[in-house]
Amino acid sequence: MRRYLIVLAALALLLSGCRGEAKELPAPAELFAEIQAEVELPEMINTAETDLEALTGIGPDSYDSAVCYRLCEGTAPDELIIVRANSAGDTDKIQELLEKRLDDKREAGTLYLTEYQPMLQAGVVRRDGLTVSLIVSGQVEEIARVYDDSLQAVTGPG
Amino acid sequence: MKPFCLLVPGLVLALILTGCAADAAMPAQPPEPSPAPAAESAPPPAKAPVPVPAEAPTPSQAEPSQEPEEGDYFDNALFVGDSIMEGVRQYVAARRQEGEALGTAQFLTSTTGISLADLTGDREPGVQFSYKGEARPLEDIVADIGPRRVFLLLGLNDLASDPDPVVEDVVSRYTRLILNLRSACPGVEFIVITNPPKVASQWLPDYTANRNFGNALIGEFVDELKAICPEWNIEYVDAYEALKDENGALPDDYCRDGFLHLNHRGASVVVDALEAFAGGR
C-alpha cells in the first residue's frame, strides 16, 4: 500500500514539475530595455499606442502588453515590435500579422529606398511562448542573443 | 486497497496536470499559411477603377461630426502622405515624447514611393496605403478613420518615377483624387500641403526614373497646384514656400539623405507652417 502511495506521489510531483509556470520572456517593455542595454540601437520611439494596430492590425484585445519601436528619424526601415499575447490562439494570429508586416516591408523595399533591402531580408519574426516579435534592424543577431540569454535565464541551463 | 484503485486516480491526476502543461513555452513554430502579401507596397489584386467623383456617398461610410469644434484644430485630423510625410510623422512622434504636437492627429504614410497615379488607378499595378495590415483604397481608410480633416502631401513620386512627367496631368490627378475623396467622405475637409523642394545637389537616387527630376520641375508643379486649388475650393498649406531657400532649393540642413527627405529640422518648418495655418482658422 505504502509503495503505491509513494509511486503516486512521485508521479504527481514529476508531472507538477512539468507543469510549472510558462517559460516566458520578460514583459515587452522590460525585454526592450534589456535589448537597449546590450545592443547599440539607433534612437527609436515606442509608438505602440498610436501605431501598432494601424500598422499591423494587431488590436489591443489580443495582447497583454506590447511595444512598437520605430526609428526616431531617418529613412531606414528599423522596427522592433514585441507583443505579449493574451492566449495561444492570439499568439497564432499575432504571428501571422507580424509575418505579413515583414513581407510588406520587404516588398516595399524592392520599390523604394532599395538600399535597405539587405536589412529587410535579415529581418525576422520570432515566437517565444506567448511573446511574438518582429525584428528589423541592422543588429538582428545581437538582438537574438539577448532573447536567447533572457530565455536561458528564465529556463535555467537545463 | 487494490493497485488499480490507486492507478485510476493517478491517471486522472496525470491527465489534469499534463493538460495544464500545454501552456508552457513553445519553440517558434512555422507560421500558419497567411493570405497573399498585400500592404504598403503590394499591388492590388485588380486594377483600381479610375476615380470619378461619385454622385452619392456609400451609406456605410462614417460621416464626421458636424458639431462645433472643440479642442485642438488638429485633433481628429489625418495626415496622409508619402515618405516626405513620414519625416513629419517622425518629428511629431518625437515631439510628443515631451509634450504636444499637432493635437492628436493621426498619420497614414507610405515609404513605398506611392504616387497619385497609384491612388487614382492611373498606374497598374498600383501601390495602395496599408491600414491595419491591409492594403486598401484611400477612400476606404479615410472613411474608416472618420477624421474631421485630412492633410495630403503627395505628388513628388509622380514627378520622380515617370521618366517624362507632364505637370498638368499630375495636378489633374491630385484634384481627381481629392474630388473622389470628397464624394466618398462627405463632410471631411481636404487640405493640400505643398511639396518641399529638393536640395540643390543634382544627385538622384538610383530608383528615380526621371533623371531630370529637380527643383525647376517641383517649382512648376507647386505653382500649378497652388493655382488650381482655389478653382476647386481646396485650401493649401504652403510648405514649399516655407522650406525653400533663396535659390528655390531645400537647405541641406533640412534634409536627411541629400535628396529631399526631411529631417526633424525640416519637418519642424512644415509643422510651424501647419500651426500658422491653423492659427488663421
ipTM: 0.81
Comparing alpha-carbon positions, the chain B residue that sits nearest to A114 is B207
Q: What is the pLDDT of residue A152?
A: 84
Handedness of CA A7, A8, A9, A10 (dihedral sign): positive
- Please give the pLDDT value at position B69: 66
**Are A15 and B17 in contact (CB < 8 Å)?**
yes
Q: How would residue B281 be classed by pLDDT, with cut points 50, 70 and 90?
A: confident
Could you say which DSSP state residue B258 is in?
Answer: S
Quote the percentage of chain A above a pLDDT of 90: 73
Mean pLDDT of B243-260: 96
Site from A58, A99, A104, A127 to mutate, B interface, most B CB atoms within 10 angstroms: A104
Q: Residues B146-188: pLDDT tens digits?
A: 999 999 999 999 999 999 999 999 999 999 999 999 999 999 9
Mutate to test the interface with A, among B1, B2, B5, B6 (most CBs of A within 10 A): B6
The most confident of the ranges B7-16, B32-41, B233-242 is B233-242
**Residue B119: pLDDT above 90?**
yes
Contact state of A108 with B41 under an 8 Å Cβ cutoff: yes
Q: How confident is the model at residue A114 (pLDDT cuts 50, 70, 90)?
A: confident
Least confident of A94-103, B7-16, B249-258: B7-16
Q: What is the band of A112 on the pLDDT scale with cuts at 50, 70, 90?
A: confident
CA dist., res. A80 & res. A95, Å (int): 14
Q: Which of B153, B149, B175 is nearest to B227 (CA)?
A: B175
For the CA atoms of B21, A60, A51, B273, the dihedral, rounded to the nearest 10 degrees, stands at -160
pLDDT higher than threshold 80 for residue B85: yes
pLDDT digits (tens, 9 = 90+) for A31-65: 999 999 999 999 999 999 999 999 999 999 999 99
Q: pLDDT for B66-76, tens place per residue?
A: 555 667 899 99
Q: How confident is the model at residue B251 (pLDDT cuts 50, 70, 90)?
A: very high
pLDDT bracket for residue B279 (50, 70, 90): very high
Who contacts A20 (Cβ-Cβ below 8 Å, separation ≥6)? B21, B24
- Averaged pLDDT for residues A136-150: 96
Q: Cα separation of B9 and A149, whole Å?
A: 40
> Which residue from B21, B31, B93 is facing A19, i.e. has the nearest CB?
B21
Q: Return d(Cα B133, Cα A103) in angstroms, integer.
A: 11
